[in-house]
Amino acid sequence: MKTLQSAAHTCAALSCAAALLFSAHSAAQQRMYKCVDAKGKVYYTQVPPKECLGMDTQEISRQGRVTKRTEGALTPEQEAAREEERKKRQEQEIAAREEKRKIQALLNTYSSEKDLEEARGRALKDNEVAIQESEKRIAGAEKRKKELDQEKEFFLKKPMPPKLAQDIKSNEIEIRNQIELLDAKKKQVANINAKYDEDKRRYLELTKGTPASASKSAAKK
């Protein structure tokens, strides 16, 4: 009895294996491969032909649908073009993230147009204070220069003391640096106004009368 059962199990297993092999064979028979060789000739075969080795290949089902695509080897030019396209997409994604960050920062910084104008006023005031400070330092350095020039008069016909020579040199450097700083601060006025003009333009463009809280929520999406 056990022998008969074992034989039945063996037969069932063999039948199952045969069915699987037949099924796989049938599926293989139902598959088609499409490819184009280097000369442009199109092939439809059940097995990818050697002429298409390294070329793009499509696996097509019995219903005519493409079920799988296998890319062929790329030429150095194609590789370079693909890498260039990848870098371009990456740069665009970085630029998009940076733009979103700037928008969010703008909306987080200002709650209204009035708030923005007040910030402009503070920036201009701080810059004006820096201008006045440079002017005071220049005036002090110019006064010190006159004193040093008077001291220098005593040494027209004899060697100048090293300390006096060093003081004169340091004074000249101080005046030059403060004049350059003053010029930069005066030019900064235009830069400050340009920055806040652009911030205002973008802020109004983003809000368009929308409450600040709603605008910030929209920017986070």
E strands in 110-160: none
Instruction: Show me where the domains of the chain are located.
Output: 28-73, 110-165+176-220
| Kind of pairing between the strands at 32-36 and 42-45 | antiparallel
**Whole-angstrom Cα distance, residue 193 to residue 199?**
10
CB burial of 30-47 (b: ≥16 within 10 Å; e: otherwise) equals eebbbbbeeeeeebeeee
Q: In the structure encoding, which two tokens stand for residue 71, read together?
A: 């890319």
**pLDDT tens digit at each of 221 positions of the chain:** 444 445 444 444 444 444 444 443 444 456 788 888 777 888 888 877 777 777 778 888 877 787 787 776 667 776 788 788 889 999 999 999 999 998 999 899 999 999 999 999 999 999 999 999 999 999 999 999 999 999 999 888 889 999 999 999 999 999 999 999 999 999 999 999 999 999 999 999 988 855 544 444 545 55
Evaluate whether 192 touches 120 at the Cβ level (below 8 Å): yes
CA-wise closest residue to 109 among 6, 3, 24, 207 = 207
pTM over 0.85: no
DSSP 184-201: HHHHHHHHHHHHHHHHHH
Element of type H or E holding 141: helix 113-152
E strands in the chain: 32-36, 42-45, 57-60, 66-70
